[in-house]
Each structure stands twice: as C-alpha cells, then as structure tokens.
Amino acid sequence: MQCPKCRGTMRTYDRNGVHIEQCEMCRGIFLDYGELEALTRMQQNYMQAPPPPPAAPAAPAAPAPGWGQQQVHHHHHGGHHPHYRQKSVFHMLFST
C-alpha cells in the first residue's frame, strides 16, 4: 500500500493486537475504523496500570516517545502545510 500523502511505502505493524499502517517515509499513521478507540483504551489501561516490566523491544523503532503527539493522518485529510511562517512556529524553530 502506498501512502496517499507522500507516496511512501506503508508497512503494517501489530501494536498489542491493533494493526496500524505506518509510512516508512513520512511516518504518518493510518488507523482503520475503531482502531483509534482501541489504542485509546489501551493507553488508558496503561496509565492506570503499575509500570509494566521491561518489554521486549517493539518491532519498529518507535517514531516518537510515549508522551509524543503522533502526527495522525486520516484518509480524508490532505497533506498539512508546514506553518513555519506562523510567528509562534517561526520563533520555536528559528530562535533560542
């Protein structure tokens, strides 16, 4: 399957029983119907549970840390424009 955004190759990963498609190029993630809810449920369980034992390394290198905001694209979305000219973003990227 090709990424509809950047034409990269999509790979399927199994995350605790939820299949997600991730683009190898732009790291965008596609979720099918119900998968977001499944992931959210698991995340809630994770937050309530005691720290898990050291897990075996996940199949792919994690694209972002657990606290990160994934760049989730839905099928109906086009690409998003980098807002680097937006004043706040410009300051975040171009100044100390």
Q: Are strands 18-23 and 29-30 parallel, antiparallel or unpaired?
A: antiparallel
First to last CA, the chain: 41
> Which residue, 1 or 64, is less far from other proteins as judged by CB?
64
String of contacts with other proteins for each residue 31-60, x by CB under 8 A: ----------------x---x-----x---
Q: Is 10 in the site for other proteins (CB under 8 A)?
A: no
Q: Which residues contact 59 (CB under 8 A, 6 or more apart)?
A: 13, 14
Interface with other proteins by CB under 8 A: which residues?
A: 5-6, 25-28, 47, 51, 57, 61-71, 80, 82-86, 88-96
